[in-house]
Structure 1
Amino acid sequence: MSVILVFLLVIAGVSFWWLAQQRLMSKPWLEHGAPLPGLEDTGVPTTKLGLAVFLAVVGALFALFASAYVMRMALSDWQAPPIPRLLWLNTGILCLSSVALQCAVSAARRSQAETMKLALVTGGLTALVFLGGQLLAWRELSARGFLLDSNPANSFFYLLTGMHGLHIAGGLLALGATTARAFAGEGQERLRNSVELCAMYWHFLLFIWLGLFVLMAGWANDFIDICRQLLS
């Protein structure tokens, strides 16, 4: 349970920071002199709010998986597989993908169409390379005898990386549609919200992946012990 609590606290902190950035915590009826609250537009698209709720649900799901991982690893039959070196490269590639999408956001806000297109394509291609690298990591572990059903630790490794990969693949569909609209010449004002949504999704998945990587590599054990002591 400590893993879930710590993760939810982190999510809450990030959420409050994001709300502050989007001015959702402000009181527009006081700032603009509106007679009643709720009559002034906060300027935040409902799509961003919807995505924020969806990401909170996804974060809770991964927190449950992480909690189950920590509880299961305490049993005697747990034999964690070695972390393939390729995962280091994959992590760097996913970071590049997230940086590329942030560049696309900056370009969209500055009405730099060509830069935005290049950044969107770069973000999509690096995400595809990341997925390919994850499949190669699976193949490497299988070839070394670390099969899905040979140990509970192996099952968790494939489950966690597979779930994360599915979310990346789902995000690629939205990113592909946004990129197609950009090359079709759609106005950047209409595209900017879609680009920002894709970047927001990518940053979140990068955050999730870094947490999973730390967990599966075994570096989180000391941190979890400290959290348990603080929460006990």
Structure 2
Amino acid sequence: MSAMLLFLCVIAAIAIWWSAGQGLLSKPWLEVGIASGPRDGHDADRPKLPVQKVGLGVFLAVVGALFTLFISAYLMRVNTQDWWATPVPRLLYVNTAILFASSLCLHWAKVEAVRGRREQLRTAMLAGLMTALAFVTGQVFAWRQLVAAGYLLADDAATSFFYVITGMHGLHILGGMVALARAARLVRTEAIVTPRLRLSVELCATYWHFMLAVWLVLLALFAGWAGSFIAFCRQLIT
């Protein structure tokens, strides 16, 4: 339960940080000059939040809730007597580094999109797409290592949870790759970096950063670090 609350706090912190950056937490009724109307046209010229960003925020909240439910079920099951922990393949740590590199590539693409440098943006998008594919491929190989070691899907609850949760995360990465491929296609077809292209790259980067954060929490859960971290926090509080 404590680990689930910690995960919820992490997701909430990410959501609040992202919302604040997009202006969703602003209070226009407290701003000076709102009651008397726009002054000098500044308020009228203020850009509105694109509906795509609001939609992505809602979608990420749903995804966060989904993984929270998985983690809650995992933690309730881990305390039973017939629980046998599944070993974490070392390849997962390599895959984590690859996903981190993919997230960095998407951040690079976002920066290049803001600067309007199309060629550099194209390179960054391609690098992000290739590293994402490498991550998914690495996850499949990690599954094959477990199968070769005799850990099958229907053997025990721990192994089943591992396959289901990592598989669900992999499916979300694949879905993100579809959006990323579309954005990369826009880079190739658009002569310049248009606002639509810039928005598409920004949404992909936000999604990638979120999925990296989710994966880090999942890796900590499977490796047993989450329990150690919670115990350490309890010692600090008491």
SS in 1 for 2:154: coil
**Other-structure match for 2:166:** 161
- What are the residue-to-residue correspondences of 1:88-99 with 2, within 5 Å? 88-99=93-104
The 1:59/1:191 distance shift into structure 2, 3 A limit, reads same
Residue 111 of structure 1, CA deviation: 0.4
Does residue 17 of the first structure (1) align with residue 17 of the second (2)?
yes
Residue 71 of structure 1 aligns with an amino acid whose one-letter code is: M
RMSD: 2.2
Runs of at least 5 residues in structure 2 that lack an aligned partner in the other structure = 38-42
The 1:24/1:78 distance shift into structure 2, 3 A limit, reads same
Are the aligned partners of 2:110 and 2:202 in contact in 1 as well (CA < 8 Å)? yes
SS in 2 for 1:220: helix
* Residues paired across the two proteins, number: 230
**Other-structure match for 1:172:** 177
Residue 11 of structure 1, CA deviation: 1.9
Question: Residues of 1 paired with 2:30 and 2:234: CA distance?
Answer: 43
**Other-structure match for 1:7:** 7
Does residue 212 of the first structure (1) align with residue 218 of the second (2)?
yes
Provide TM-score, normalisation by structure 2.
0.89
Does residue 64 of the first structure (1) align with residue 69 of the second (2)?
yes
Residue 222 of structure 1, CA deviation: 2.3
Question: Residues of 1 paired with 2:36 and 2:202: CA distance?
Answer: 30
Runs of at least 5 residues in structure 1 that lack an aligned partner in the other structure = none
What is the identity percentage for the equivalent residue pairs of Structure 1 and Structure 2? 53
Residue 19 of structure 1 aligns with an amino acid whose one-letter code is: S
The 1:55/1:230 distance shift into structure 2, 3 A limit, reads farther
Residue 129 of structure 1 aligns with an amino acid whose one-letter code is: A
Residue 45 of structure 1, CA deviation: 1.1
Which shifted more, 62-71 or 219-228? 219-228
Are the aligned partners of 1:29 and 1:36 in contact in 2 as well (CA < 8 Å)? no
Are the aligned partners of 2:116 and 2:192 in contact in 1 as well (CA < 8 Å)? no
Question: Residues of 2 paired with 1:129 and 1:6: CA distance?
Answer: 29
Provide TM-score, normalisation by structure 1.
0.91
Kindly report structure 1 stretches of 4+ aligned residues shifted beyond 4 Å.
Answer: 28-32, 39-42, 225-231
Question: Residues of 1 paired with 2:185 and 2:2: CA distance?
Answer: 43
Does residue 136 of the first structure (1) align with residue 141 of the second (2)?
yes
